[in-house]
Structure 1
Amino acid sequence: MTAEHYFSAEPTTPAQRGEIEFTAAGRSYRMAVASGVFSAGRLDPGTAVLLRKGDLPTTAATGVFLDLGCGYGPIAAVLASEAPEATVWAVDVNSRARELAAENTAGLGNVRVAGPDEVPSEVVFDEIWSNPPTHVGKAELHALMERWLPRLATGGVAWLVINRHLGGDSLHAWLTGLGWQVDRVASQKGFRVLRVSRKTG
């Protein structure tokens, strides 16, 4: 699988299906995957770091969360499982990814899978979680952040994981330059975990 396929809206490669298993926050997950979708062979190492180092919601959490660039849905499934009273939007441009995410979260009643243009404009998010597609290029990555970060609710927070060698530090600096409060909460296995919020005061 070549890297450009996973952020294509309509993958043209045949969907060779498989399954992966992983553990997050003490729960075990088994998910359907397919070629033409990001990290189809395993849970992406960056996603694993994000789920391990980010502050996952508690059972009591409510509100609206976003898994931006959801792929086949591992982050959405974890968020929805940890916070069953919250609503989790799983958003991806890739139609095959959305199909898999819907399949993988079908047993959870609080996940909504959608394309980027299918999320109502009035929806704001208490938390945004993302392992964004760095391979699309800096301009596209910045456009993605500029589109979705302003939809954080008052007091909301975004959790991002970025490969240090693929612009993690430059993204940190760029977001800070736009006026966001950006804190590097972890650095592990070459990945930066960033906590992004609005500056107060």
Structure 2
Amino acid sequence: MTGDHYFSAQPSTAIQRRDVEFTVAGRDYELTAAGGVFSASRLDPGTAVLLRKADLPPAGAAGPFLDLGCGYGPIACVLAAVAPRATVYAVDVNARARELAAENAARVGAGDRVRVVAPDEVPDEVSFAQLWSNPPIRIGKDELHVMLQRWLPRLAPDGVAWLVVAKHLGGDSLQRWLGDEGWRVERHASQKGYRVFRVTR
């Protein structure tokens, strides 16, 4: 297998920057994406369903929140915008994605509250009030399970995770697996072939 994937640590694909425009909760966003990151030409349909159907945090929420697999940062930017007191960790293995996420956080006026980091740079003592993710299904089931086993336990005792997964990419089997792992999983919404899961302890 050759070429870059959105989960490549150092993509070699030409940058080819482009603007991505979308609206969430009545606010318009214009973020910068680029080649070599996930869904570089538009807001991914799964991410759009997640941001439309999951319960966005209230304005007074302080977090911290986690955007796991942040890409160029649309989820992190929305979380920081709707909860202006909150700290948001935007985590991605892809260095180019992290650069864009930091740039976009500054673009929406949240550069001081969105901490864009590689996975190993998240302080061990931080637990999260909310975890949001359109997880990288195409890394393979085993690696996906390892990733979720690493991060879901970092939810605070009363924390909640919001995940979106396409049904045809194994959304229903992931729901069963999470339940077998001891998590409480509610199918919060379904739209356009995507499942939105609310996951709690």
Shorter-chain TM-score: which interval?
Answer: over 0.9
Amino acid at match of 2:132: W
Tell me the TM-score normalised to structure 2 length: 0.96
1:185 to 165, 188, 197: 188
Q: 2:47 aligns to what? A: 47
1:131 aligns with 2:134: yes
Amino acid at match of 1:185: H
Looking at structure 2, the residues matched to 24 and 110 of structure 1 have their Cα atoms a distance apart, in angstroms, of: 19
The alpha carbon displacement at 1:73 in A equals 0.3
Deviation readout 1:78-137 (Å, 9 max, x if unpaired): 000000111100000000000000000012131100000000111110000000000111
Looking at structure 2, the residues matched to 96 and 186 of structure 1 have their Cα atoms a distance apart, in angstroms, of: 32
The alpha carbon displacement at 1:3 in A equals 8.7
Which structure 1 residue ranges, 5 or more long, are not aligned? none
Which structure 2 residue ranges, 5 or more long, are not aligned? none
Consecutive aligned runs of 4 or more in structure 1 exceeding 6 Å deviation:
none
Amino acid at match of 1:16: Q
Looking at structure 1, the residues matched to 70 and 88 of structure 2 have their Cα atoms a distance apart, in angstroms, of: 11
The alpha carbon displacement at 1:4 in A equals 5.1
Identity %: 68
1:89 aligns with 2:92: no
Looking at structure 2, the residues matched to 149 and 4 of structure 1 have their Cα atoms a distance apart, in angstroms, of: 27
The alpha carbon displacement at 1:12 in A equals 1.2
Match of 2:49, SS state, is helix
Deviation readout 1:33-71 (Å, 9 max, x if unpaired): 100000001000000000000000111111200000000
Name the Cα RMSD after superposition: 1.1
Looking at structure 2, the residues matched to 110 and 162 of structure 1 have their Cα atoms a distance apart, in angstroms, of: 27
Looking at structure 2, the residues matched to 130 and 63 of structure 1 have their Cα atoms a distance apart, in angstroms, of: 15
Q: 2:12 aligns to what? A: 12
